Amino acid sequence: MFKFILKGLLRDKRRSLLPVIVVSIGVFLTVFMSGWLTGVFKDMIDVNANFTTGHVKIMTRSYAENENQIPNDLALTGVDSLMSELNSRYPEMEWVARIHFGGLIDIPDEQGETRAQGQAVGMGIDLFDNSLEAERMNIPSSVVKGRIPSISGEALISDDFAEKFNVAVGDEMTLFGSTMNGAMMFQTYTISGTVRFGAAMLDRGAVIVDIEDAREAMDMQDAAGEILGYSKEGLYDDEQVSVIKESFNSAFTNPDDEFSPVMLRLRDQQGLDEYLALSESISFMMMLIFVLAMSIVLWNTGLLGGLRRYTEYGIRLALGEEKSQIYKTMLYEALLIGLIGSVIGTALGLSAAWYLQTYGLDFGDMMANSTMMMPQVFRAYISPRLFYIGFIPGTFAMVLGTALAGFAIYKRKTAKLFKELEV
């Protein structure tokens, strides 16, 4: 039956070409927009996870309550043993320690006098020991001048700061701040390079050093402000991290000890729970509206296609064909057209989504003054859902429209039919 119907569709282009084109366009837009919205929200989650929240984060209870103040006097201690315990208990996660700090950058002139000063928001991360921290924070691609630190005593600074105060690679800078114990801290670093991340909150006065240099400067041996955990699969899985969070907090957190460690999920930090819920709702609503709109269009296509063939069905009835047989044939044709158009539209949508997933669209100029952690380049994301979501409007709506149009067949009266044919 399908072979016979397919031959009929191929030989009569007027019957099949327009519906296939309409279905293909609708499915293409559905698949492409789904991939685009999924990619945008995924990139936002990844940027926040990579720079600030991790998939999970461990801090002391007091540090977590005052995190915005970067209270390193409340930092975790005994980090080496805690990291070993984490790697043993939760091998599916990668664990990294970080130190955040604030201070003042002082750039001396040739006589050693202050030439320029500015506020610094610093971070100590593992830049050596074959760590993935630099790649996770996209530092190699963000280096504007110079290179990533390769030895102890080197630092990266914000390219905006370097341009503003005419600081060159190879110059020295002194970082003023306070140690973990509240004492005055000043440490001199050699500038190995400058970076620009595209986020205003990072680019105004960022300083990045190796975590061991930060520990030495701030008297934080075997200590860290926070320990971040990342799934080795690279994707945030809320169910997985929720299980890990409950397991860790039940084993390590003491409600009576303000210095006991506590684990938070990505969703528990910086209002991201509300943001993720909102983004999921917006994505769902937009896709639902889009799918419904495409379904209505394709429904009308099937309806009009059936009405245009009203005379054909009359002739077939006059020749003695059963009404039920004609109706089944109509549905089979609609299903075949829907499948062909859905396959073509899905292929085109996946191709467009792949292009944007690979190259993306650069919104760096628009994000220059943003205070939120947002990616500069927005990309689509090809998820398994894209391979079938287009078939919902592509086949169901087409068949539904044809089914409604086909009810007219059962209303045809034989006497009226012959009168129409005589005319």
| Per-residue pLDDT tens digits for 252-303 | 998 888 899 999 998 888 777 777 777 777 767 766 776 677 667 766 766 6
Strands in 179-324 per DSSP E: 184-195, 206-210, 223-224, 226-231, 261-265
- Could you report the per-residue pLDDT of 31-89, keeping only the tens digit for each? 888 888 888 888 878 888 888 889 999 999 999 988 888 889 899 999 999 999 999 99
CA distance 413 to 317: 10
Res 423 pLDDT > 70: no
* 83 plus 170 within the same structural domain: yes
Q: pLDDT digit string (tens) for 81-112?
A: 999 999 999 999 999 999 998 888 888 877 77
Same domain, 333 and 377: yes
Residues 103, 139, single domain; the answer is yes
* Contacts of residue 265, Cβ cutoff 8 Å, sequence gap at least 6: 55, 56, 238, 241, 242, 245
Structure confidence by residue, pLDDT tens digits, 161-178: 888 888 889 989 999 888
Strands 226-231 and 76-77: unpaired
DSSP three-state, residue 336: helix
Output the six-digit token pair for 330. 């109509």
Question: Do residue 349 and residue 209 come from a single domain?
Answer: no
Polymer length in residues for the chain: 423
On whether both 326 and 366 belong to a single domain, the answer is yes
48 close to 266: Cβ distance less than 8 angstroms: yes
pLDDT score recorded for residue 1: 55
Residues 279 and 227 in one domain: no
Tell whether 381 and 279 lie within a shared domain: yes
Number of structural domains in the chain: 2
User: Considering the domain boundaries, does residue 268 fall inside one?
Assistant: no
Residues 9 and 128 in one domain: no
Whether residue 38 is contained in a domain is answered as yes
